[in-house]
A and B are shown apart, each in its own frame.
Chain A
Amino acid sequence: MNTELMQGNMACARGALAAGCRFFGGYPITPSTEIAEVLARELPKVGGKFIQMEDEIASMASIIGASVGGLKSMTATSGPGFSLMQENIGYAAMAEIPCVIANVQRLGPSTGRPTSPSQGDVMQARFGTHGDHPIIALSPTSVRETFDLTVKAFEFSERYRTPVILLLDEVIGHMREKVDLPTEALLPAEREPVEVPPEWYEVYGESPTDVPPLASFGQGYRFHITGLHHDVHGFPTNRLDEVQAWNNRVFRKIDNNLDDIVLTETQGAEDMQTLVIAYGCTYRSARQAVKMAREQDHPVGLLKLQTIWPFAEAQVRALSEHVERVVVPELNLGQMAIEIERVAGRKVHRVNRIDGQMIEPAEILVRILER
C-alpha cells in the first residue's frame, strides 16, 4: 500500500493496469483525456499497447480488434465520443467481444459544457445502440471506487464476454482524493482458455454458463466473427431458431448472474422512512444530505447504485416497499428516476439539475424533509 493523491481519471487508468488491460485505443476528449495520457505513458512499460486513433468510431473498433487478438482492451471518452462509439458498442455486444468503455460524462446535449459534470448518459449507456441486447454499466462515487469498479469492469467483461461501460462523470474524473491503491496486479477473471480441438470449437456454442469461451485469433481456431445474426460457428444465419437461441442466451448470461453483477450498498435500512437512491457524483451530496437529516432525527436510508445496468430491481423493490418516500437526485431530468418508478410502482421525489452544477446536499435535504 502506498498513499497517493490522485484524480478519478488516474485511478481509472491505474485500475485498468491492475486488471491486466494491455491495449488502449482512444481519442482526446474533455473530461476523460487524462485516462489516455496516463495509459500512453504506462502501457508500454508493461508491454502493453496504446494508440491514438483518428476518431472515437475507430477507437471503439480498435479495442474490439485488439480484444479479438487476445488483449484486455479499453477506451475512454465523453458524451460526444460516446455517441460516435454506439454502433461498434453494439457490434461488441453482438459479437460478444470483451472490452471496457469509460465514459466520463459531461453536460450535453451536443458539445454542451465540456468541463461540467452530468449524468446525462445513463439511458444512452443502456439503449444507445440499435437493437436489443443486455449491457453492464458501472458508476463509481469516489476516486478509490473508480479504481475498484474499473477492475470490476474488466472482470465482468471477460467473465460475461460483453462490453462493459464505466460511467464516470466530470466530478469523479477530475476530483483528487487521498487513496491507498494495491500495488500488485489483481488479475481478476482471466479469459477462460479454449481447450477443445479446433474442429469441435464453437465460438457461439451453447455452454453451461451461457458464456462460450472466446479463442483469440492466431490460436489455431480460425473462426468467423460478424455483426450479422449468426449460428454457433459465427456464420451468418437467417434461421429463426438460431437467431432466437442467440437472443435468449445473451440475455440469460446476464439475467442469471445478477447476484454477481448488481453491486449496491445500503445504509440506514433498519429504521428508514425515507429512502434516497443515488449514484456517481450525486451520491456524495446525497450522503451528506442523509447525514444532515439523521442529525435532525429524520430516519433516512441511502441506497448507492454502483451497478447502473442491469438495474438493481430486486434491491430497489425490497427497500422501497416499506418507506414513505423515495428521493432520487441526479444530474439529468430523471433518467434513473423513471426506472425506479417503474420498479417501485410509485412516484418518486426527484431532485434534478441540468445546468452543469452539482446538486448541493441542502437541495436534497429539502426534498427529504418536505411533507
Chain B
Amino acid sequence: MKRTETRTFDYLRRDKKFPGVWCAGCGIGIVMGSLIRAIDDIGLDKNQIAVISGIGCTGRMPVYMDFNTMHTTHGRALAFATGLKLARPDMTVIAVMGDGDALAIGGNHFIHAARRNIGITALIVNNHIYGMTGGQASPTTPTHMLATTAPYGNLDQPFPITDLSIAAGAAFVARSTVYHATELDRFIARGIQTPGFAVIEAVSYCHTTYGRINRLGSAVAMMRAIREHSIRKATYERKPVEERDPQAIVRGVFHDEADKPEYTALYQQIIDKATQEASQA
C-alpha cells in the first residue's frame, strides 16, 4: 500500500495545483489514481504521454498530472486528441471525459473516433449527472431519476456506453467502478496497450448533486451501493436471463480486438505508398 502511494505521488504536479477542485469524497480522484497506476505498471515514459480532457469535473483531471496535458473545449477532447495522435503516432494519447462531455456534446466525436479505431484510450468517468454545473440530467442519467433539469423524473433512456462503443467500432471496451480500483487499474492498462481505440467506463457517483437530489446518501453510502449493485460479467452471464438485474453494474471486458488495424498505422501505409509513388514519378 505504501508503495502505491509513493508511486502515485511521483506523477502528480504536487507543488503546483493541490488541493484539487473535486468535492471531498469524489470518485474522480480514484480514477486518476487508477490511470496513474496503469501507466506506471506498463512503465511508460511521462514525456510520451498526453492526457486530454474536455469540460466538467473530469475535465479538470489532466492539470494535476505531470504529463503533456491539454484541457480543451466541452465535448471535443477526442477531436483534439485525434489531431495530436495523427500528428504524433508515437505518443500515448489518453482522453479523459465525463459522461456528459463524452456522450452528449461530444457524442458525435466519440462514435467517429471509435469508427476510425484511432489509437486513443477514452476513459469515461460515468457519474450519471452534470456535476460541475450543479446536477443536470446527463445522457447516462437513468430513466425516472431526478436531476435539477428533470425535476419530475428523467424521461430519457441512458446510453449503454459499452454497447455503443462496440457498435461504433472500438477495439477494446471494458467497465469497472471506483470501488473496484485494482480491477480498474488493469482495464485501463489493457486499454492503453491496445493499439486501436479503447473505451474504459469507470462507474463513479456524485454525492454532491445526484446523490443529494435523489436522496442516495453520503459518498460512503453511494460507494457501498456501487459495491452491492455490481457484478462480474462472467457471473452475470451465467445467470438465466430472467434472473439478471437490468440495473446491475456489470463489470468486465466487453470487447477485445487487439489486432484490429489502427488508424495512424494505416495512414502510415498511405504515406509510404504516396512517397514511393512521388519519388518514382
Contacts and interface: CB of A to CB of B under 8 A. Distances in A.
Contacts of A55: 108
B47 A61 contact: no
Interface string B74-105: 00100111111111101100000000000000
Q: Could you say which of B46, B67, B80 has the most chain A C-beta atoms within 10 Å of its C-beta? A: B80
A25 to B, nearest CB: 6
Interface in B263-281: 267, 270-271, 273-275, 277-278
A14 to B, nearest CB: 15
B129 interface: no
Contact of A226 (B66, B70, B87, B108): B70
Contact of B278 (A45, A221, A228): A45
A91 B73 contact: yes
Contact of B76 (A23, A58, A69): A58
B45 to A, nearest CB: 9
A49 B68 contact: no
Interface in A28-62: 44-47, 49, 51, 53-55, 57-59, 61-62
Given A25-B83, A64-B80, A218 B47 contact: yes
B277 A217 contact: no
A188 to B, nearest CB: 20
Contact of B63 (A49, A58, A66, A224): A224
Interface residues of B, number: 42
A251 interface: no
A49 B86 contact: yes
Nearest to B77: A61
B86 A61 contact: no
B29 to A, nearest CB: 17
A225 interface: yes
B7 interface: no
A227 B108 contact: no
B3 to A, nearest CB: 24
Interface residues of A, number: 45
A49 B267 contact: yes
B195 to A, nearest CB: 18
Contact of A44 (B69, B83, B87, B271): B271
B109 A69 contact: no
B16 interface: yes
Given A54-B112, A69-B91, A222-B46, A64 B71 contact: no
B79 A53 contact: yes
Given A44-B274, A70-B88, A227-B73, A61 B83 contact: yes
Interface in A57-90: 57-59, 61-71, 73, 87-88
Contacts of A71: 87
Contacts of B275: 44-47
Given A23-B86, A70-B87, A62 B80 contact: yes
A58 B80 CA distance: 7
Contacts of B196: none
Nearest to A236: B63
Contact of A53 (B82, B270, B273): B82
Q: Could you say which of B82, B84, B108 has the most chain A C-beta atoms within 10 Å of its C-beta? A: B84
Nearest to B281: A45
B87 A66 contact: yes
A51 B88 contact: no
Contacts of B212: none
**Mostly helix, strand, loop or mixed at chain A's interface?**
mixed
Given A69-B91, A70-B87, A58 B71 contact: no
A220 interface: yes
B56 interface: no
A233 interface: yes
B91 A91 contact: no
A221 B274 CA distance: 33
B278 A61 contact: no
Interface string A345-358: 00000000000000
B150 to A, nearest CB: 26
B231 to A, nearest CB: 35
B17 interface: yes
Contacts of A220: 47
B139 interface: no
Given A57-B79, A68-B70, A224-B63, A218 B48 contact: yes
Contact of A49 (B13, B67, B76, B87): B87
B50 interface: yes
A110 B268 CA distance: 38
Q: Could you say which of B62, B71, B91, B109 has the most chain A C-beta atoms within 10 Å of its C-beta? A: B71
B72 interface: yes
Contacts of A64: 72, 80, 83
Given A58-B109, A226-B63, A69 B88 contact: yes
Pick the 4 closest A-B CB pairs, nearest first. Answer: A65-B83, A69-B87, A62-B83, A61-B79
10 contacts: A53-B112, A54-B109, A65-B81, A69-B87, A88-B76, A222-B46, A222-B67, A224-B13, A225-B70, A226-B71
Interface of B: 13, 16-17, 46-48, 50, 52, 62-63, 66-73, 76, 79-88, 90-91, 108-109, 112, 267, 270-271, 273-275, 277-278
Interface of A: 23, 25, 44-47, 49, 51, 53-55, 57-59, 61-71, 73, 87-88, 91, 216-228, 233, 235-236
Given A23-B87, A51-B82, A73-B83, 8 more contacts: A44-B271, A49-B87, A61-B80, A64-B83, A68-B83, A69-B88, A217-B68, A218-B47
